[in-house]
Amino acid sequence: MEKLDSLRIDRETDVRILDYHPGKRQFLAVDKVTEEFLVLDSRGQVLEEIYRRGEGPNEFNTNLLAFSFNQEEGGYFAQSSIEQIRFNDAWDVDQRIRFASYYSIFFYTGPKMSVPYYRIPGVSTPFFFTSFFSGVNTNGGGEADPEVAGHLIEQYNPQKQELEWVLPFVSQLLPEFERDDKNENKKPGQVYALDRKEGRLLLTFDRSMEIGIYNLKNHFDFVGQVGFTHRSFSLSSKAKNIALFDFGRDIFGVLYFEGLSEAATATRKENDPGYFPLMDPTLYHLIVLEDGKQQEKEIDFPPLSDPRSEIMPLPSNRLLLRDKYMGDTKPEFHLYAIFELKVR
């Protein structure tokens, strides 16, 4: 990867970038301390600061999990475990959709991701996943309702105006994955990307070497799968797939953590008591697939970027990554780098 550009957010409190609007060339972020939503330009300058927590008609009082641009119609989507709120461009509430998700999720620092929604032809309002977020495994195994146990995704269907379970949990329809020896009923941790333009779901699991492709426009029909291999992937060292990216034009990326043995971790802690494997960029690698074929060489994660912070795909084969903070005092600004993926 080659660094192309950077952006700086001048803010003393911590922020998290959640979404990008390619048409407007704007980012959407949240201030994790003040709970304000921030609209940023392409350089990181704040264009709008909006606070909407409260009891008013244009406010919310639930713990938000996701927030994003409404890419097609303008405005914004906010989502918790019990409702989705649709704001217009003036930040007034146009609609609230209440629901009772089977799984209740709580994030202590507010929304962590963009809202997983998609549209199908002939339906004016979008479908959205209610408790199925990439990298967030809500299923602990054990007993579950037959419908829940037999399907993977809970979503809101605007045609029925109710929740439904979709994508049968059947091995023939899913990427192959490593099962939990202690709990075979436990569903694997999902890692996915939504291709809203093409109407596809790209799905893998945290311990998998396949990507399944599903047609969102036709009830999650299985389209096909793409296999990949890791250069180093030890399950005993807690290796796992972290993220799946759709760069367009059938170019996919799989970011994975290769893991580190307990002995190797102990050795590194002797030299650095604060060492933590999940924070080590050298243990992360990106697999690139183009037209179903894996590139020969994996891409190492940039050493000055933070693998546990935002990792956001951008148009033209680019990735947005947060710089690691190297200072000892409270930061007064946040730096991000934009890298271009070199596809051969």
* Residue 344 pLDDT: 66
* Phi/psi of residue 264, nearest 5 degrees: -65, -35
* Residue 221 pLDDT: 96
Give the 3-state secondary structure of 159-221.
CCCEEEEEEECCHHHCCCECCCCCCCCCCCCEEEEEECCCCEEEEEECCECEEEEEEHHHCCE
Average pLDDT score, the chain: 93
CA distance 114 to 66: 5
Contacting residues for 244 by C-beta, under 8 A, at least 6 apart: 134, 191, 192, 193, 202, 203, 204, 211, 252, 253, 254, 255
Tens digit of pLDDT for each residue in 96-119?
Answer: 999 999 998 988 888 999 999 999
* Residue 263 pLDDT: 94
Residue 342 or residue 7, greater confidence: 7
Tens digit of pLDDT for each residue in 295-321?
Answer: 999 999 999 999 999 999 999 999 999
Give the confidence band of 141 by pLDDT, cuts at 50, 70, 90.
low
* Phi/psi of residue 27, nearest 5 degrees: -105, 150
Q: Across-strand partners of 26?
A: 21
